[in-house]
Structure 1
Amino acid sequence: MHKKAPANVHCLLDGLLEKGLPYIAAHLGKTIKYPIVFTDVIGRIHYPDEPGTPSQLDDLFVELPHALNDQEYYYDANQKNLYLRVGENRGTAYIIVNNLPDSKVSQTVTAIDEGSRLAVKYYFYNLESLRESQSKFKQELVEYLFFKSQINIRDHLKPIYYKLQFDKPYMAALMEADQANSNVDWEMLSSYTTQHFKRIDLEIIPVSWNNSIVAIFPTSYREDTMEVDPEWTKQIVSNGYKFRDIVARIYEQDISIAYGQTYTLDELHRSYNEARIAMALTRLMGKKRFVQQFAEMGIFTCIFSCDINTLKNYTLSTLGKLLDYDKANNAQLLDTLRHLLDNNINWKRTADCLCIHVNTLDYRVKKIEELLHIDFSTIETRVDLYIAIKVWDTLHLTGFGIKDLQ
């Protein structure tokens, strides 16, 4: 026997479809005279949702109490907040009543009628379905923009995403977790990324991709020169730091963010590759929880602005003999050189890292000098080798031409 729907459910659903969650909040407000908040499963606020400023971005989320577990509702006596669960799985939502006296808890739980609960459940269930549908189209968009740029993208873009325009500059950004086995729900985080930047009137396109998020940023620029407003870039980077901190608080996961430079859509794959390089190189430097711009990598910005084949030839001409020797003799000369340079030519520290004697390290360095016909004591040689190794490692980490290099 089917459960009969509440008498007011049709009216509530009609109001929800026409006016959204504010209609349900107004309905509940007739009997509940305390502030009402609607959030999703991880505490992202969907009502009230007022325009924010960069200094207010943290208020996108509320911290849900761990004591909720599988209970239908939970009352936090210290904060005087009531949390009532609606729905299940990724479509779960919470109705939160703030500043509620404990004497009003039972009365308030009853006042949240079945019709309102059903309407809220319906809203978040459909929101999740919409996210999944949008994700499919955005995945296709990223594939065309970044991985199939050699085909005529103009023939494919319009059916996929009509808001993008060919004559305007865009920027690609990459977000990755610092932990190897992250439990971040990237699809859900992609949706929240959209809302995060919408609070500052920026319509970006974030897409979950291979345990990361790739985002397309429409830029602010001068119409006559197409130059990007430097203040816009500062704002984006500043909000990158804020968003990084929000993710750490909500998901208890550290992330890093890298930005490419700006290009039109025909060349946007270059911005994506620059973001990948900025991410990989900064990780190779041992950093975490960073926000890095490709344009702010110093000498490496100039170096990685060269085409990939030029970089391959550079690394092979500089390090090729070491690579050949290591492969033929099952040796570790390149790794030895890498550690020595990363440790600022500290012989004792390098020997300890490699678990070898300092004399063995001295022998290896002499062998490196012999193979490469260099004097390792000069600053010019050390700088050249340091740069070559970082370029080599970055190409490997990003996968650029890795099969050709091995």
Structure 2
Amino acid sequence: MTPERLLEFQNELLQELAAGTGLGGLVEKYSDQIGAPVVVIDAYSRVKAVSQNAPHWPEGKVITLSSPEKGSFKCSVDDDGATWEAICLEIAGRGKGLPGYLLVLDGPGRKLKEKEIVALGKQVSFVCALEFARIRSLLAMEQKYKDDFIFDLLYSNIDTPETAVTRGELWGWHLDRPHLVMVFELDHYEHFSTDPQLMEEVLELARLAALKIDQAPILMEKRGELVAILPVEGLNRKKDKARVKEFASNLCDKVRGKISPRMFRAGIGRVYPAPTEIFRSYQEAKVALELGRLVPSCGGVPVFSDLGMVRLLYNNDRQELEEFYQETLGELEQYDQELGNDLTTTLKSYLAHSCDLKRTAQALFLHPNTLRYRLKKVEELLEIDLEDLDTKLDLMIAFKIKYLLKPETG
């Protein structure tokens, strides 16, 4: 392959780009030259363009790509059990990582040797990078307009439901349906670091996760926070909640796998029928996220409607909560600190196991008689009766308050 031919081919590719044929025109041009199917995928293995002789993969379809060995361009492509050998070329970008890959699938019609395919492919990759940059710029501009509208929804800046529905239709969003809000947060986010780029990756992972559910969420990322506004049917609450929690849990697991030991948390608000009430679900989701950070019993992905007593305590005056805690458990905690005992933990476990002596003893690896002695000591110190229902309730509330009052450890 002569330098003159490579330069001529590059000019032909640039002409395709100038003609506005996009990635589809570039892969078709390349495919004609080499006589083999060509596919362009992004960094998340989503199909962006295919030549006419390639498998009929729709844009956005996720395929599986094996990484080429060092010094080799060969890889394999898998889709639902079908496998193709391929030549894989990186599409290099500037400062944003790899935008994607150029794949040449093996086939009987190939006209050129691998060396020539790679030489021409590098020219194609360069021009594809220009097209990716153009697309990214357009998407960023579109996302800005979307974000402005989403911001108005989250902060109740829209007067009527009809206005919200009409504006949402511009983006294909059906805001006349019930929606809820999920909030995801990256711990210790720092703007002047690699965290903004990390949040861009999180946004892409959320878009990938959205492909697996029936109704995709409206997504917005802002300074370490990812907001997802999800439409729900509203006909089966249990089914809706399971679907929402599954989406949130899957996304959290994927992100935590990339950022460990840092934390990535989520909170879910309640469902509201009108778009002008979406801001309420947003505030609830933020409260649920915060309570999930403070109170372990809230679970992996706390849902505001499930938080019960804890969400009521969260809105109370901190001084009142402190006084209630000290009046209820303060003396027991002081006794433990002075004598090195752990009666507080014993009492907490007893309440957590529904005041069942046998289960509590097993959980604490204690003889039942030892447990009875400890609980009797608790009753004497606090001057209470552990058989009294109101007393049990006060103690459970006090333990919830302890989590709410403790300083944040991240």
User: TM tier, shorter chain?
Assistant: 0.5 to 0.7
Structure 2 counterpart of 1:109 = 118
SS in 1 for 2:11: coil
Cα distance change of structure 1 residues 376 and 208 upon mapping to structure 2, 3 Å threshold: farther
Question: Is residue 2:203 matched to residue 1:218?
Answer: no
2:102 to 95, 114, 128: 95
Structure 2 counterpart of 1:193 = 206
Structure 2 counterpart of 1:74 = 73
* CA distance in 1 between partners of 2:202 and 2:349 (Å): 35
Q: CA RMSD, aligned part only?
A: 5.5
Residues 43, 64 of structure 1: 8 Å contact kept = no
Structure 1 counterpart of 2:403 = 393
Cα distance change of structure 1 residues 282 and 33 upon mapping to structure 2, 3 Å threshold: farther
Structure 1 counterpart of 2:159 = 154
Percent sequence identity over aligned pairs: 18
Q: How does 1:60-71 map to 2 (within 5 A)?
A: 60=62, 62-63=64-65, 65=67, 67=69
Structure 2 counterpart of 1:55 = none
Residues 304, 311 of structure 1: 8 Å contact kept = no
Cα distance change of structure 1 residues 76 and 338 upon mapping to structure 2, 3 Å threshold: same
Cα distance change of structure 1 residues 396 and 86 upon mapping to structure 2, 3 Å threshold: same
Cα distance change of structure 1 residues 240 and 330 upon mapping to structure 2, 3 Å threshold: closer
Structure 1 counterpart of 2:183 = 174
Letter in 2 for 1:106: K
* CA distance in 2 between partners of 1:84 and 1:275 (Å): 43
Residue 171 (structure 1) shift: 1.0
Question: Is residue 2:348 matched to residue 1:341?
Answer: yes
SS in 1 for 2:233: coil
Residues 191, 206 of structure 1: 8 Å contact kept = no
Residue 215 (structure 1) shift: 0.8
Gaps of 5+ in 1: 53-58, 222-226, 353-357, 399-406
Structure 1 counterpart of 2:327 = 321
SS in 2 for 1:90: coil
Structure 2 counterpart of 1:273 = 283
Question: Is residue 2:269 matched to residue 1:260?
Answer: yes
Residues 280, 394 of structure 1: 8 Å contact kept = no
SS in 1 for 2:384: coil
For 1:285-320, what per-residue CA distance to the aligned partner results, in whole angstroms no more than 9, with x for missing partners?
3798x455444x3xx3x4356595458698457425
Letter in 1 for 2:183: L
Taking structure 2 as the reference length, what is the TM-score of the superposition?
0.63
Residue 326 (structure 1) shift: 10
Structure 1 counterpart of 2:356 = none
For 1:73-114, what per-residue CA distance to the aligned partner results, in whole angstroms no more than 9, with x for missing partners?
732489833221122331522212345799953232134262
* CA distance in 2 between partners of 1:144 and 1:189 (Å): 23
Gaps of 5+ in 2: 1-5, 51-56, 78-83, 354-359
Residue 350 (structure 1) shift: 7.3
Residue 322 (structure 1) shift: 5.8
Residues 178, 271 of structure 2: 8 Å contact kept = yes
Taking structure 1 as the reference length, what is the TM-score of the superposition?
0.63
Residues 41, 90 of structure 1: 8 Å contact kept = no
Cα distance change of structure 1 residues 321 and 132 upon mapping to structure 2, 3 Å threshold: farther
* CA distance in 1 between partners of 2:133 and 2:362 (Å): 60
Residues 68, 75 of structure 2: 8 Å contact kept = no
Residues 90, 128 of structure 1: 8 Å contact kept = no
SS in 1 for 2:96: helix
Structure 2 counterpart of 1:285 = 296
Residues 183, 286 of structure 2: 8 Å contact kept = yes
For 1:336-355, what per-residue CA distance to the aligned partner results, in whole angstroms no more than 9, with x for missing partners?
74685258575898799xxx
* CA distance in 1 between partners of 2:337 and 2:310 (Å): 29
1:84 to 80, 85, 89: 89
Residues 86, 103 of structure 2: 8 Å contact kept = yes
